[in-house]
Amino acid sequence: MSDATEFAKPRASVFAGLRLTRTAIFAGGILLFWLVLALFGPWIAPHGEADIISTKTFAPIGEGGWLGTDKLGRDVFSRLIYGVRTTLLLALVTTVISFTFGVTLGFAAAILKGWFDIVVSRIVEAFMAFPSTLLALVVIGAFGTSITVLVLTVGLVLSTSVFRVSRALGYDIGVMDFVEAARARGEGTWWILTREILPNSMAPLIAEFGLRFTFSILFLSGLSFLGLGVQEPAADWGLMVQENVGGLFLGSSAALIPAACIASLTVSMNLLVDWFQQRQQGETVLEKIDQ
Amino acid sequence: MSDILTIKNLRVEGRPPGGTYVPIVKGVSLNVAKGEVLALIGESGSGKSTISLASMGFARPGCRISGGEIWLNGRDIMKLSPHDRHALRGNEVSYVAQSAAASFNPALRIGKQVIEAPLWHGAGDAATLTATAVDLYRKLDLPNPDTVGNKFPHQVSGGQLQRLMAAMAMSCGPDLLILDEPTTALDVTTQIEVLKAFKDIIRDQGTAAIYVTHDLAVVAQVADRILVLKNGEMVEEGPTAQILHDPQHEYTRTLMAAVRPAPHLVDHVDASAAQAPVISARNITAGYGALTILSDVSVDVPAASVVGVIGESGCGKSTLARVVAGLTPLREGEIKLDGKVAAPSVKDRPRDTLKDCQIVFQMADTALNPRQRIGDILGRPLEFYQGLKGRARLDKVGELLELVDLPRSFASRFPGELSGGQKQRINLARALAADPKVILCDEVTSALDTVVAAGVIDLLKTLKDKLGVAYMFISHDLSTVASFADEVVVLYAGRVVEKGPSKAVFSPPFHPYTKLLLSSVPEMRQGWLEGVADTGEAKAASAGSVVIGAKGCPFSNRCTHVISGTCDTVAPPLRVLSDGLEIACHLPTGELPDRGL
Ligand SMILES: Nc1ncnc2c1ncn2[C@@H]1O[C@H](COP(=O)(O)OP(=O)(O)OP(=O)(O)O)[C@@H](O)[C@H]1O
Ligand code: SF4
Ligand SMILES: [Mg+2]
């Protein structure tokens, strides 16, 4: 019987299995670097985030601290290290919130269909009709600038896009034969969602997570820059740009350094997502070759 | 001899992402002369499509042509610049793909798309090109050749669209035409008109052609020479008659042996009337949204027997299976499973009822969750229906695997690590795990190669004898149904037009549609096509297309026997003839078409 032959399936090491490209290693390295700094920041940073170390404000690189001082004479280097903590943590929390709402509602809409789908979809569309910054401005303006409000608002704004992605995935996978087979067996909605649909949505959801994470960093930095985000004396990269933007005219790089850091973080994340998506696609190309 | 295409020692490699190149085509040489049709045959994965693409100097993404020469009209096209090579396509070479629907832009009128390529290549102005195109439509026997170009793709039938696709390919007057499974997606009745049109136009224009297919009966009709491929290597090559009747190579003989036999009738066990049928569907009406697909369909499946459901694509075969399984709730009628009335929707059926009736889907690939191991896929129904856990469950999974002739070690694999035939066996095993009384088999073999499909059918037979399970066997492959089913139901446009014991259905008298269906199954005999395509029945059938929800007899717009005034206004009821045969036709019994195959 020709269809009963054994397959030889080589199992390579974990890293070979990842099929890393040079770009992916580079981007991953940068992300890892920031992550380590975020975790061990307080032990690494020479000064506290709010400590004023010099009477000289906007000191150039090398004077005062490694990377100079900011508008109040605080150490830019230390604030940068504390800042990555805030930035990454906030981005993570907001993205997780957006996924909790977006994925639950998106899949529920795809499975339950009917009026639930219509109502939720219309609400989400209404939200998306507003420019996201404007939306955040209104909400934060109304409720004040606390971290809770900030996190919830950004999470909500991000969740609209997550909802759309999850709903589309749910619809696409929900009509596949293996889901039909589970339905025909008599499985309940919970099983179908958690065992059949979700495992098969993981790859696109992971990519979406990366993209939302990037967007969240940019969005939060933007809000901080507008003065609606993280408040002083806490350190946050977006906030640091805003605080020190006046120093640009005095030749200080205190605003440019955090901006460059934001760029390095978001670009790396995007590169990593690209690599991941290409890798997933690569798998489908392989299937085509096999035909 | 004037060869249009000569390929020497072609090698193509494909690369899994991140991996190294592996050979897909390993040194194949071939040549096609002017006006000659060369057929490439072989199982899926044998490199048929890869070679046909390479003859245009094209490789799929992830593949590369790594060696060999491809001479087209006296030039080695691998030595041309990519731009020049691109210019060949749609000029000297044309390609007809499996699905016409995917090749047409739904938003543009057909005529415009047909002349697009020659217009781009500057072969003339729109008016003259349109005139040439209309000429082609006429040669391809399309209805209303003057106006068909003004229609949109969705306004013509599948067979007509495939012929229009051929017109598009021929519009630039190519020297070489590549046809990649151009009729595989079509029904037998439509296939005839398309095959005939292809054949005539190739003869007429003296084009060289490469015809890729896995259907040997089709090859017998159109090819002058056949090249048999296996795993990217040439196995055998020769004139059609020689390959068909006197194959030299062992592999070619296996291929020939697996070819479906022409419908031959076997005596089947008569359903024992004593036992209640495992499925009894009465007067089913069902559909999707506002659309009604099935109307007034009644089907019985007696215990431990096989009921075949045949009919062309879109007639509602899958819908019937889904209604019985409760996936698409019925609107009217009643379904009894094992004598007990079953709720219309799967959600309202108790597990005992669900367990008795299992469904196996057409596409083996998509019916298995790619993220679950085989052990879990088979284990879940065991746990769900029988409460098996741990060791007991594991043992039973092993038994199931052995039941479908697969090694126990497969339990730890993912579906992606299995071939098509193996996946279909797993699908069967999953259905068997519920220990059902009846399995709904929806085209379980149509996505498989002939050799593999034959193996699956054998397995179904063995399981039936061993376990006493009944099947509702949905298929458009008449020969398989004829040799496998005890009873047959013929569906047309969502209605039962004929049903009865298999032997009675496949022998006269026939319903006019059954007759058409049976005479449309390609035979291995060369010259069969010419004989059948010119009959009044085939001509009448190609004139119309299927109408769902017609007022009178649904077949009336394609029937040669139509009684005007009656057939198009009054729907004919099923009437019982001898031997339990039922036919829905207004013709008196004596006038029903008889001479059969
Ligand atoms: N989910 C759906 N929504 C709307 N229409 C549908 C849906 N599924 C099928 N149909 C339509 O119902 C009709 C019957 O479809 P069905 O799948 O039962 O045909 P079939 O006989 O199984 O065809 P095939 O041989 O191609 O599998 C077709 O016209 C199809 O387009
Ligand atoms: S009822 Fe009339 S149209 Fe229908 S199959 Fe019979 S003769 Fe043909
Ligand atoms: Mg079907």
Ordered structural domains, chain B, with CATH: 3-103+176-259 (3.40.50.300), 271-367+437-505 (3.40.50.300), 512-591 (no CATH)
Quote the ipTM score. 0.74
Domain-located, residue A72? no
Q: With an 8 Å Cβ cutoff, is A175 touching chain B?
A: no
Q: Label residue B277 by pLDDT band (50, 70, 90).
A: confident
pLDDT per position as a tens digit, B202-261 = 888 888 999 998 788 888 888 999 999 988 899 999 999 898 888 888 888 888 877 655
pLDDT per position as a tens digit, A31-73 = 999 999 888 888 888 888 778 777 777 777 777 777 878 877 7
The confidence score (pLDDT) of residue B323 equals 94
Looking up residue A154, the CATH number of its domain turns out to be 1.10.3720.10
Least confident of A25-29, B130-134, B180-184: B180-184
> What DSSP letter does each residue of B504-552 carry, written as one string?
HHTSSS--HHHHHHHHHS--SSTTHHHHHHTSHHHHHHHHS---TT-SS
pLDDT per position as a tens digit, B544-586 = 777 777 788 888 888 888 888 888 888 898 888 877 889 999 9
Q: Which among B367, B371, B421 has the least Cβ separation from residue A181?
A: B367
The percent of residues above 70 in pLDDT, for chain B, comes to 95
Q: Label residue A16 by pLDDT band (50, 70, 90).
A: low
Q: Which domain holds residue A141?
A: 86-281
Burial class for A26, CB neighbours closer than 10 Å (0-12, 13-18, 19+): middle
Asked if A285 lies within 8 A of B61 by C-beta distance, the reply is yes
Q: Rounded distance, CA B548 to CA B166, Å?
A: 27
Q: With an 8 Å Cβ cutoff, is B372 touching chain A?
A: yes
Domain-located, residue A235? yes
Interior CA angle at A219 toward A214 and A222, to 5°?
130
Asked if A186 lies within 8 A of B44 by C-beta distance, the reply is no
Mutation target for A interface from B20, B371, B446: give the one with most A CBs within 10 A.
B371
Is the pTM above the cut of 0.90? no
**Centre of ligand 1 from the C-alpha of residue B589, in Å:** 32
**Centre of ligand 3 from the C-alpha of residue B508, in Å:** 27
Identify the bridge partners of residue B5 per DSSP, sorted by sequence position. Answer: B32, B72
Q: Rounded distance, CA A25 to CA A21, Å?
A: 6
pLDDT at position B263 over 70: no
Show the tokens assigned to B246: 């006197």
Q: Rounded distance, CA B318 to CA B331, Å?
A: 16
Domain-located, residue A128? yes
For chain A, positions 2-31, list CB contacts with chain B under 8 A. Answer: 2-7, 9, 19
CA B286 to chain centre: 24
* CB-based contact B67:B8 (threshold 8 Å): no
> What DSSP letter does each residue of B128-168 carry, written as one string?
HHHHHHHHHHHHTT-SSTTTGGGS-GGGS-HHHHHHHHHHH
Domain-located, residue A67? no
Domain-located, residue A60? no
The confidence score (pLDDT) of residue A8 equals 37
Point out the ligand nearest to the CA of residue B570: 2
Domain-located, residue A287? no
Phi, psi of A247 (to 5 degrees): -70, -20
Q: Which among B44, B63, B346 has the least Cβ separation from residue A183?
A: B346
Region for residue B579 given its phi and psi (left: phi exceeds 0; alpha: psi -120 to 50; beta: otherwise): left
Closest ligand 2 atom number to CA of residue B560: 8
Asked if A286 lies within 8 A of B354 by C-beta distance, the reply is no
Q: Work out how many domains chain A is built from and give that number.
A: 1
Domain-located, residue A81? no
Least Cα separation, residue A107 to chain B (angstroms): 18
The confidence score (pLDDT) of residue A282 equals 53
Domain-located, residue A203? yes
